[in-house]
Amino acid sequence: MTPDAPRPATVGAPHRPGTIGAVQICVLGPLEVRVAGVPVEVGGARLRRLLILLALEPGRPVPIPRLVDGVWGDDPPTGAVNALQALVSRLRRAVPGLPVEARPGGYRLALGRDAVDLHRFETAVAAGRALLRTDPDEAYRRLTEALDLWRGPALADVADTDVARAPVARLQELRLTATEEAVEVRLARGETDTLLPRLRELVAEHPLRERLTGQVIRALHRSGRIPEALAEYDRLRTRLAEQLGTDPSPELAALHLALLRGDPAPPAGPTATAPGPAGPPPAPTPAPTGPMATATPSGPPAAPVPAASVAADGGRRGNLPAGLTSFVGRREALDAVADLLGRARLVTLTGPGGAGKTRLAVEAGRRGGDRFTDGVWLVELASVTDPAEVAPTVLAALGLRETTLFTPRAALATSEVTDPTERLTDALATRAVLLVLDNCEHLLDATAALVDRLLAACPRLRVLATSREPLAITGETVRPVGPLDLPPPGVDPGRALDYPAVRLLVDRATAARPDFVVDAQTVDAVVHICRALDGMPLAIELAAARLRSMTVGQVAARLADRFRLFTAGSRTALPRHQTLRAVVDWSWDLLDPAERALWRRMAVFVGGATLGSLERVCAGGDLDPADVLDRLTALVEKSLVVTVLDPAPTTRGTEPVGAGGGGEAEPRYRMLETIREYGLARLAEAGEAESLRQRHAAEFLALVERADDHLRGRDQLPWLHRLRTEHDNVHTALRRTISAGQTGTAVRFVAGLGWYWWLRGHRAEGADLAEEVLTRAERERLTPTAATVVAYATGASNLLSARADLDQSQRWLHRGAEVSVGLDSSAPMFRLTPPMAVAAEPGREAAGTARLAGFFADADPWVAGVARLMHAHLCLNQGAPTTEAVDGFRAALELFESVGDRWGASAARFSLAELWARAGDHAGAVDTVRWAMAQARELGAFEDLPGMRARIAHQHWLLGDRETALALLGEARQEAERLGATESWAAVAATYGEVLRDRADWAAARDWLERARDRLTGRQVVPQWLAMFATGLAHSAVGAGDPAEARTHLAEGLALAVDARDAPVTAIVLVGYADLALRTGSAVGAAYLLGAAVGVRGGVDRSALDELRVTRAARDALGEVAFAEASARGRDVRVETAREAVRVTLDA
């Protein structure tokens, strides 16, 4: 990484160990050992690791646990202390004269720091940087001499160990900083042309390194290549904005401004050791730099600072590692942590493994470092297993193993304080320090005791801890670190990148595969991965690593086996962060048997659970029912379970099961999906899977059946809310019963859920499940029950609404009525099934209306209300006078309101609004539809709202307020598109077509209808809808002067309407034929067909824009008297004679 020639003579010279002392150890590359200048081979990976770990801290003892962890990792041998002793003996034999000494609790490499190239490198860099202002040539010589010590990756033989992670990152950062300092010297000499090729390579390797890009820009500027310099700045600005969401530094912005103005380039910013206003820097004293570094100052006592504490950003003290990847998606959390550190002395970041607690803490420390004049110090506790080692580990991180980091009061005592906690309180007593204690969860008691004591004794100290559960001491402020924000399913590529989870996946994926992009082909898989992994950063990074060898679609498809899939993490990460299973195993191992029992059993729930459900389903064996709450609390505190407050709607009657009264927020407990999948595996290992599934199914069948009793009255909102909240649990339980062959239980589920599916708009899902279950019941010849009848009835309603499958719906109603014979039940849908079956049978409409009328005085007001509602609609479909239907809808409305059923009241109001509109009361229709919309919105029937809004727009058009009408139509269209509600969008399109025809914009009207028809292609649609679309297209064809096309459309529409025996729709088609007759020269025929439409419908419709338009034109053509005579002749036409009426008129 050294800049290219010209260079001093030492640059590029071969490595020359052995010039200092008898034993030389080189670790800036593969391990190399020389004794008296002669290379010595150190064989065996463990032997090499041991020597490197000792060489990291020459002259001071390295604790046995650290050596064991570094040599053997997560798989130490039995009798690790003896094994380590044997390994030390082998090392002494392998390297003659190597002074490895046993010390209490560890081993010491008794060599000076200059015996190890790593420390010579750091010393040379510090000396070179100190000379940059006063002697740049000598500074350059020192820097390049230091850089030439590198022969490959630092600590290559131990790079995969935890103990090496921080020093490797620090050394890489220092190497890059030294390279930048050397470049500055050469830039000052004017060596721009020879520097540029290497500088461009460096920028390619470190594209977000602003200082390197600034050096390229200044080199180009000084070479007169201004356009290239501007382009380089723009590339950096784009990279920073896209990947980090930030702008270039003020220094680069000033350089950019100078380029634009044609001014000379401003000088580079000060280096890390540049003198301030007070004068030159102090004389350089080479400082120790290892992870446990100390300083031994010469002269008067000062505050020695390890070299690790001098960051490349300008003199900050501390040991925070340099960021190796960009920080994505936590800007708000970073701001929140900064705010908390300003107000609280102990802040604990809690969250499950892999949530990004460590990275957030380090970034927060880095951002807030200026507030802590004595540094931000990271203490990594993950590898510490002995609670007694917590305080010594903090000492080590601060460089206080043998000497003091600061000038503590202990230095004045007659003997040195040896208790680690006392040493810490002495050192930190007056210092403004931020301690970042990382991974405290397995050492909670020891860490809490230490922090409590330090905060009491050190008033300027602040602590930022990360843990899977709080420290639980006085003064602690807890900040949960949750998943990254997730995109909704179906989001487009542009919007997907607005979500941090997607940005993180893309950022890490492009590191693995530079050609990776989120586009129309990959966005669904990307979103699925992020959502399936709950937005957990570590899991997302592991998924991104898989993209080196798999497509994003392949990764998404294999997430069901995520613990096997995600086994390719960073080698430099903690071992428990290298695979997804290791992350979760760590949490499992920290639990007691009862906590493990609750974890694995809770995994049977999908989407969370209430405390009551957990107590009923999970207790038993290792877990006493009385202990569930305590164990649940423990899992919440350990960040394995998330608490979500579920505000229930205010109720005025029977409370839903498990809900708090009066709208009180009820806690729900849920696991992230990765935690739940792990629990399911443990549940299977314990042999409890089947019994827990049975208990889970029983719990939610009881909920469903109890809820169904309350879905038709005043309490329907809280019960709908409860079912909506438990939707995933309920449907999982149903599907498990189907898979287990428990068809009788499945039928009960379908019966209990049928009305919920109807009210909440889950009609397609409900129809599919009902079909699967009822088909099984028929195939198995299951003995029918009252639940079977209800399942057939609600299944038929959902099937007709979702699929427009009239034949199957009629068959299910007929089958339900058939098996109800001999059974008895007070369930409303059970009692309504027989009359509904008759009413749905073709040709038996009259009998159906009579059967429904028999329920008008039923003791159950809801049953009577449904009978009235259905009876009134049947009357309209048969062309009866509207007065009878108005009476029926009003009676139904009164009955539904008496029991508080919002669905029935909304349906009755919407039907009345249609009749007000027919009668010409358009303002009344608007008010009534708005009221119906409000109740539908309360129920969550959002898919119905665009169609209702379109009806209001239609009435405003009739009232002459066309601007409002078009605005409402636009809102309805956008609402339907947002909901993905195709049928609602088609209804809005039909209204657009009607108002555009009223404006004689035939082409636009046709376009809307064709787009709607195209969207409905491949879907089952009721014939009445198709008839209306055909008629609308016929009107557009007539207006455009194409009667032949119009006649084809109308023939299709008439056949559909008449076969459906639907009087209002048949009347609509007859109006279309009247339009055709008028445009082909038969005004009399048009008047006759308009009269036929009134006769078939049972009255005049003053809301039908096409009919009003054609009627005006026919009346103008004939005159009032002739029009009235011809129209009157047509009023005897009925649905059954509509075809003949059309034939006679068009053939005349």
Query: DSSP string spanning 182-206?
Result: HHHHHHHHT-HHHHHHHHHHHHHHS
Q: What residues have CB less than 8 Å from 1144, skipping those under 6 apart?
A: none
Please check whether residue 949 is in contact with residue 976, taking contact to mean a CB–CB distance below 8 angstroms: no
How far is Cα 1093 from Cα 879, in angstroms, rounded to an integer? Answer: 10
What class does CATH assign to 320-480? alpha beta
Which of 344, 456, 435 is closest to 390 using CA atoms? Answer: 435
The pLDDT of residue 560: 60
Query: What burial letters (b/e) apply to 237-265, b meaning 16+ CB within 10 Å?
Result: beebeebeeeebeeebeebbebbeeeeeb
Report d(CA 795, CA 780) in Å as an integer: 19
| Average pLDDT of span 148-169 | 80
User: DSSP letter string over 633-680?
Assistant: HHHHHTTSSEEEEEEPPP-SSSPPTTPPGGGPEEEEEE--HHHHHHHH
pLDDT at 441 over 90: no
User: In this structure, are residues 945 and 975 in contact, taking their beta carbons and an 8 Å threshold?
Assistant: yes
Confidence at 302, pLDDT banded by 50, 70, 90: very low
Q: Which two three-digit tokens encode residue 81? A: 């202390």
Q: Which residues contact 1025 (CB under 8 A, 6 or more apart)?
A: 986, 1016
Q: How far apart are CA 1005 and CA 1037, in angstroms?
A: 10
Amino acid at 1009: L
* Structure tokens that stand for 1118 in this block: 């004939």
Q: Is pLDDT of 578 > 70?
A: no
CB-based contact 291:392 (threshold 8 Å): no
What pLDDT, in 10s, does the model give residues 367-397?
A: 877 788 888 898 888 767 778 888 888 887 8
- Determine the pLDDT at residue 383: 67
| Region 35-57 average pLDDT | 86
Spatial contact of 908 and 879, defined as CB atoms under 8 Å apart: no
Does an H or E element contain 479, and which? strand 476-480
What's the token pair of residue 820? 């109800």
Q: What tokens does 34 get?
A: 């020389």
CA 983/CA 773 separation, integer angstroms = 27
- Report the pLDDT value the prediction gives residue 569, as an integer from 0 to 100: 43
Mean of per-residue pLDDT scores for the chain: 82
What is residue 812's predicted lDDT score, i.e. its pLDDT? 96
DSSP notation for 236-296: HHHHHHHHTS----HHHHHHHHHHHHTPPPPPPPP-TT---TT-SPPPP-----STT----
**Quick one: pLDDT at residue 573?**
42
Asked if 665 and 645 touch (Cβ cutoff 8 Å), the reply is yes
pLDDT at 741 over 90: yes
What confidence tens digit (pLDDT) does each residue in 235-285 have? 888 887 776 666 787 778 788 877 777 767 666 654 433 323 233 333 333
Of 851, 882, 886, residue with least CA distance to 869:
886
Q: Which residue has the tokens 């009978």?
A: 867
Place of tokens 């990360």: 466
Residue 293: exposed, middle, or buried by beta-carbon count in 10 A (0-12, 13-18, 19+)?
buried
Q: Which residue has better confidence, 160 or 650?
A: 160
Query: Which residue would you say has higher pLDDT here, 278 or 1146?
Result: 1146
Architecture of domain 1022-1148: Alpha Horseshoe (1.25)
pLDDT of 1045 higher than 90: yes
pLDDT reported for residue 11 = 27
In angstroms, the CA 985 to CA 28 distance is: 67
Which contiguous run of DSSP H or E holds residue 477?
strand 476-480
Per cent of the chain over pLDDT 70 is: 85
pLDDT at 907: 93
CA–CA separation, 839 vs 810, rounded Å?
A: 10
Count of positions (residues) in the chain: 1148
Say what percent of the chain tops pLDDT 90: 38
Nearest residue to 867 via CA among 832, 815, 913, 906: 832
DSSP-derived secondary structure letter, 979:
H
Whole-angstrom Cα distance, residue 399 to residue 396? Answer: 5
Q: State pLDDT tens for residues 303-330.
A: 333 333 433 333 457 878 766 566 666 7
Domain residue extents for the chain: 1-164, 320-480, 493-572, 1022-1148
- pLDDT score of 19 more than 70: no
The two beta strands, 434-438 and 100-103, are unpaired
C-alpha to C-alpha distances, 425 to 105, 393, 409, 422, 454, nearest whole angstrom: 23, 14, 10, 5, 6
Query: SS3 letters for 618-632?
Result: HCECCECHHHHHHHH
Structure tokens at 1074: 């009247």
More confident residue, 896 or 324: 896
Alpha helices in 921-1062 (DSSP H): 922-939, 945-958, 962-979, 982-998, 1002-1016, 1023-1039, 1043-1059
Residue 1131 pLDDT grade (very low, low, confident, very high; cuts 50, 70, 90): very high
Lowest mean pLDDT among 160-164, 467-471, 1113-1117: 160-164
Give the pLDDT of residue 571: 40
604-608, 812-816, 845-849 — most confident range: 812-816
933-975 pLDDT per residue, tens: 998 888 888 888 999 999 999 999 999 999 999 999 999 999 9
From 867, 914, 844, select the one nearest 1099 (Cα to Cα).
914
Residue 38 has pLDDT above 90, yes or no: no
The answer to whether 799 touches 818, Cβ cutoff 8 Å, is no
**pLDDT(111) > 60:** yes
- Strands 38-40 and 32-35, bridge-based pairing: antiparallel
Res 185 pLDDT > 70: yes
Cβ-Cβ contacts under 8 Å for 352 (sequence gap 6 or more)? 468, 536, 587, 639, 640, 672, 675
Domain 1-164 has CATH 1.10.3720.10: no
Return the closest-CA partner of residue 354 out of 537, 526, 186: 537
Question: Rounded mean pLDDT of 519-541?
Answer: 80
Tokens 């009862």, residue located: 594
Contact 806, 767 (CB under 8 A): no
Cα 1037 from Cα 1002, distance rounded (Å): 7
Distance of CA 1008 to the CA centre of its chain: 36
Of 94-108, 269-283, 850-864, the one with minimum mean pLDDT is 269-283
pLDDT at 1148: 58
CB count, 10 Å around CB of 413? 10
State mean pLDDT over 1088-1097. Answer: 95
Highest mean pLDDT among 193-197, 550-554, 570-574, 735-739: 735-739
| 26 backbone dihedrals φ, ψ, rounded to 5° | -115, 120
Spell out the alpha helix ranges (H) of 578-626.
Answer: 580-589, 593-602, 611-618
Query: Regarding predicted confidence, which is higher, 17 or 494?
Result: 494
**Residue predicted with more confidence, 711 or 493:** 711
pLDDT of res. 526: 87
The span from the CA of 1108 to the CA of 1100, in Å, is 10
For residues 998 and 1000, give the distance between their C-alpha atoms in angstroms, rounded to a whole number: 5
Between CA 242 and CA 486 the distance in angstroms is: 18
pLDDT at 545: 65
pLDDT at position 290 over 60: no
Its pTM stands at 0.61
**Cβ(467)–Cβ(441) below 8 Å:** yes
3-state secondary structure of 30: coil
Cis peptide before 487 (omega within 30 of 0): no
Taking 70 as the threshold, does the pLDDT of residue 870 lie above it? Answer: yes
Radius of gyration for the alpha carbons in the chain, expressed in angstroms and rounded? 40
**Average pLDDT, stretch 52-58?**
88
- In this predicted structure, what is the pLDDT of residue 483? 78
